[in-house]
Amino acid sequence: MAFDEEASLEATVGEIVQACASLDRPVDVLIVDDGSRDGTGAIADRLAGERPQVRVVHHPHNLGLGGVYRTGFAQARGAFVSFFPADGQFDPAVIGRFLEALENADIVLGHYAGRARGLIGRALTALERLLYLLLFGWFPRFRGVLMIRRALLECFPLESTGRGWVVLMELILRAHRGGCRLVSVSTGLRPRTRGASKVQDWRTVLSNLRQLIALRRVL
């Protein structure tokens, strides 16, 4: 998941490939360049040319997290699907733990401890929890990255179309209500060493709020 991440993309992809190499499983690493304005797209193309297990899809313009998730869902090839942001804040070593947990589950949800940094980050977290409670009455422990069985994408057609992460929330809610087995795994969160977060702003909050209300009408 890459938008203007030229400083961290190559290192993150290298970590993911290395983590998967120790699992003795075939791996397909898809870079979704979400309309980046810097050198991210060129780096992604070079990595895809150098590494046979890496490929890239370029969005012609920025579609947000929702667009990245939908592209990833549509392009996924393996039996299991996971998403990692290109900023390197999540250690790909957790992939092995996710696979182990999926032996007795259909979805593994990551979570990490610690308060969000900054006033906006804390407000976003509090608002998110309140919205889940008011609109859906329940939501599993989840914060960060996850892994799912790709077959679920065929079982639960998704209706969310916005820029935010609500399409992912829709998948989790539909899977839970459909009787799927969900478990949570602690992942930890590493500090971002380059660049700045692109999701903690009020434009994102309002967009996600509209999408959650729309989702409540169909769930």
* Number of compact structural domains in the chain: 1
pTM for this one? 0.88
Q: Which domain holds residue 40?
A: 9-218
Average confidence score pLDDT of the chain: 88
Question: Could you tell me if 171 and 142 are in contact, meaning their C-beta atoms sit under 8 angstroms apart?
Answer: no
User: Predicted confidence band at 22 (pLDDT cuts at 50, 70, 90)?
Assistant: confident
182: left (phi over 0), alpha (psi -120 to 50) or beta: beta
189: left (phi over 0), alpha (psi -120 to 50) or beta: beta
Whether 1 is covered by a domain: the verdict is no
Q: Which amino acid is at 81?
A: V
Whether 208 is covered by a domain: the verdict is yes
More confident: 15 or 24: 15
- Which among 178, 175, 186 has a CA at the least distance from the CA of 148? 175
Give 39-73 pLDDT, tens digit per residue: 999 999 999 999 999 999 999 999 999 999 999 99
Question: Could you tell me if 1 and 65 are in contact, meaning their C-beta atoms sit under 8 angstroms apart?
Answer: yes
Whether 155 is covered by a domain: the verdict is yes
Using the predicted structure, report yes or no on whether residue 34 has a pLDDT greater than 90.
yes
SS3 112: coil
User: Predicted confidence band at 216 (pLDDT cuts at 50, 70, 90)?
Assistant: confident
CA distance 143 to 115: 11
Residues counted in the chain? 219
Whether 74 is covered by a domain: the verdict is yes
Using the predicted structure, report yes or no on whether residue 201 has a pLDDT greater than 60.
no
Using the predicted structure, report yes or no on whether residue 13 has a pLDDT greater than 70.
yes
Instruction: Give the pLDDT confidence score for residue 121 in this predicted structure.
Output: 66
Whether 3 is covered by a domain: the verdict is no
Whether 4 is covered by a domain: the verdict is no
Give 171-188 pLDDT, tens digit per residue: 999 999 999 999 999 998
Beta bridge partners of residue 32, listed in sequence order: 57
SS3 82: strand
Give 79-105 pLDDT, tens digit per residue: 999 999 999 999 999 999 999 999 999
Whether 134 is covered by a domain: the verdict is yes
Mean pLDDT across 181-204 = 75
Whether 203 is covered by a domain: the verdict is yes
Question: Helices (DSSP H) in the chain: which residue ranges?
Answer: 9-21, 40-50, 64-75, 94-101, 118-136, 152-155, 166-177, 202-218
CA distance 96 to 80: 12
User: Predicted confidence band at 218 (pLDDT cuts at 50, 70, 90)?
Assistant: confident
Q: What is the CATH number of the domain that holds 168?
A: 3.90.550.10
Mean pLDDT across 4-11 = 96
Question: Could you tell me if 94 and 190 are in contact, meaning their C-beta atoms sit under 8 angstroms apart?
Answer: no
Question: Helices (DSSP H) in 160-201: which residue ranges?
Answer: 166-177
CA distance 47 to 6: 12
